[in-house]
Structure 1
């Protein structure tokens, strides 16, 4: 017979306690414990002959079968398409366009491969129909279900037999056997387990929508991220037209690819050439503005970085950064003060990456440093249509970067005529029309540009 007991579960990290606590000892969150009933079963485990350990030599391997979503940017982020039987978790701020993207991909898959089931726990069938009319979604193989009971959803999946299922969202789905409220740690964990069992046993691909916290992180237990095969993050501002789809985890591809979309009235439109979009309104002869080259997965992207340095009387000057790691900015400022004797201690510093793109890595170091110098000195660059790329070390040297040749080719294709790159990358650049200048130190780069 099943035994039940009362436990208190943290709704942020899933930590369990026998008594209520004001502060979670695991994640240090206040007032996050909710009382739940834990049920333990006394049933004996029955071993099945079909589920036995196998020798790894005898297990067949091969490429996973993938579905073409009909959206090139989404295929790129997923590693080439949606893998059959995979579980993908997608998160993003409210109104960012998650449901729009999934409805468009569901329509494309339904037209190409077979039945698709869209399960919504937040909207009625009529609301989804209104959106589908606006997006031009009209496939006969696309079915819509407004339901939050996981047992009913499982039954409908058994009857319809779809190849692709969308759950929007995991926080609204519940299992009747679990006494806690929908969205709680126990409910999310149990529903995710049920979805994983259906997907892996029947070869059905799942897209699971998840809510985010005020800090932009995935809401719910961390175990949800470990259970799924891929985790996607939809970034951007509701007031801006561009959206960035980024991979956080992917068992079937790289995690460094991004997809760029533009929000229009007829839905999300993929941007196949992000460099052209990010540089559309760039003024190449402007103080504090430098065009840099970065790599996002296998794709070179050119983007404008802007810096504004203004003198302040405040004891603690401001350091405001959008799109770049603040720790990296502080490192660059320290190198500029130490090696070039440029004072920033009495100045407010503002840095922005145009287009809403977030830059990881060290590709932007040299461009950021030159943008800061251009702003504080009120100087424009001497070179016309210039692009800058390079990493800065703590001693002021300019270190080489990877994939430099791809960035040079992208810059030449976009019409740039000058590029500043690390000296050690010059030998790897093939002959091209663009003028490549190699620099080995930060001071040498400043003399070349200004």
Structure 2
């Protein structure tokens, strides 16, 4: 990493603006959490490389005193202009070149049409980088981008099928050249902690179940990822307010109705302020023994109005070993706020018409997800509303979960395999 000059700052700003424009987002001053999350998805969709949410936030908010890692700069530069950072910098500084050559980019997220081509290009860039470093160095220094296969990273849970669950992480970062190291237990950047050379263990607690991807960072670069399956043999209910603070609810606090939900009084009893934004979530986390590329899922959902929530939104999440579905439905008129990810394909209501996902969320709605060989059809109340396909398998299903940005409830949840056989079902009548 190096201190940032005015030229570097201006060049990085040009790259950021071009990526933001290509993704269909507004000025960064108007961005909220989900916009930063979408940029993470957009970068991964276009390049095959995933930057952490904290890295994207830091770069777009200009919250850095030094340049990001060269690997990160190359990812952004290649996305914006189809050239690596140093090539663009050289052109940018050359007197003969008045502007940076532009790369034609689609105005909305697209499918990755040739994963093999992306892989070969990225592999070539990586090999050239390794060779250049070797020729220019008299001492072999192993940077983060070259040691991911050599870094050891493992874990052990202290209990099975229970929450909270302490996990013991073990790692070896002694051979990595970086200024600082971090461990992050999941997607939640607020759970990112610093680790140091000379240590090889760190413990952390999971307060909710799920299929998580723990990450080891060297500076801003992810050098190793590790799947963590924190299972729970029943439904699990939790809320966040703010997102960094988790509240959990035992079954005795759940609504005594033939659906899964919780009433306002019980939320307030746990300290939830109904005059502020919140997230309510229901999880069922086991190995379902079900192929995520060939299955059927049915869910009924409904929400309750809250004064603090202008656009009530319901999120359906199916997590596989290698990918996931994230499907959003909102109240009519709120469609611009919706996003969706099906495997490696992303759709965003800011630059794509997702009006078919707007519905009367204060009334019971039925959602069907029908997937056959990575071809997805979505139905709302029995009517097909959307079809799409993806390329990269999401693998076996390890978690289903539902999220509301307010008070919500679900009923009649079913999972079936491709032969129509019921693998999981719950109508919540026996509670």
TM-score, normalised on structure 1? 0.27
TM-score, normalised on structure 2? 0.28
Q: Which has more strand, going by share of residues?
A: 2
**Structure of higher CA gyration radius:** 1
